[in-house]
Amino acid sequence: MVSLGASVRWYLKGLFPPPVYVPVVSLAVLAQAYALAYLKDAGEFSVPSQMLLIPFVVLIVGSQLSRNMLTTVFEISLLRSWRRTALSKLVALCTGLIPFTVAEAILLIATKNTPLFVPVGASIMVCASFSILALLSGSQLTAFVVSMFLVLFVPIAAVVLIENYASLGISSGVPMGMVLYSLAPLASLQYHRVGAVSVGPLAGLLTAFALAVVMLAAYFFAFQRQEFKP
């Protein structure tokens, strides 16, 4: 039986090679560094990071784990375990995002914005959970389209809704605030400071992390119950 470590390495080989992955992460981090260094409004960092930069990196990494039906059947046969296959993909996705997360931490420490690390981490985790759920779609094309919708468009829609609350001078209310934190933690925290999102950082970020864990667990168990037609 193939070990978990070997299974994870199998999937890591499919991720972008360093000559491609490093520039993608570097461009995202440099864009954030520019926002933190030269733009006075913290929203100039939070909103672009939430709507574009973080989802883009997660989408790039997560899309490399999608497989067509025949390849998935082959991998399950090779690894000899549905459970190990699902867990290996989860670990590979998290491992693939470690360099980006570390780069984010270094950036925030260097710019003395360490309070933003937890919401940034929550945003990465939420996007990762959306990305891994998309892998249940079956085909590579469908998985990519679903992942793009969940990882890119859902946070954008959440930010647009938050900005509408802010422009109207009203608050989201607690239930909607929880939803907004679950979809766009970083932007929700930023707009909580101006009263557009009712839920505070502690409750909101805990909700975001909890939902992300639930979605990751849902993928793990749902994958094992998939059926593939020969």
52 or 68: which leads in pLDDT: 52
Q: Which residues in the chain belong to E strands, given as ranges?
A: none
d(CA 202, CA 208): 10
- pLDDT tens-digit profile of 29-38? 888 888 777 7
How high does pLDDT run on average in the chain?
Answer: 84
What does each C-alpha distance from 60 to 80, 101, 127 come to in angstroms? Answer: 28, 14, 11
d(CA 114, CA 118): 8
- pTM of the predicted model, to two decimals? 0.88
Other beta carbons within 10 Å of 198: 19
Which residue ranges make up each domain of the chain?
4-223
Q: Are the C-beta atoms of 28 and 60 separated by less than 8 Å? A: no
pLDDT band at residue 44 using 50, 70 and 90 as cut-offs: low
Is pLDDT at 138 greater than 60 in this prediction?
A: yes
Handedness of CA 12, 60, 128, 134 (dihedral sign): negative
Nearest to 176 by CA among 167, 193, 187, 188: 188
Q: How confident is the model at residue 230, as a pLDDT?
A: 47
Is pLDDT at 228 greater than 60 in this prediction?
A: no
Q: Are the C-beta atoms of 38 and 71 separated by less than 8 Å? A: no
Is pLDDT at 42 greater than 80 in this prediction?
A: no
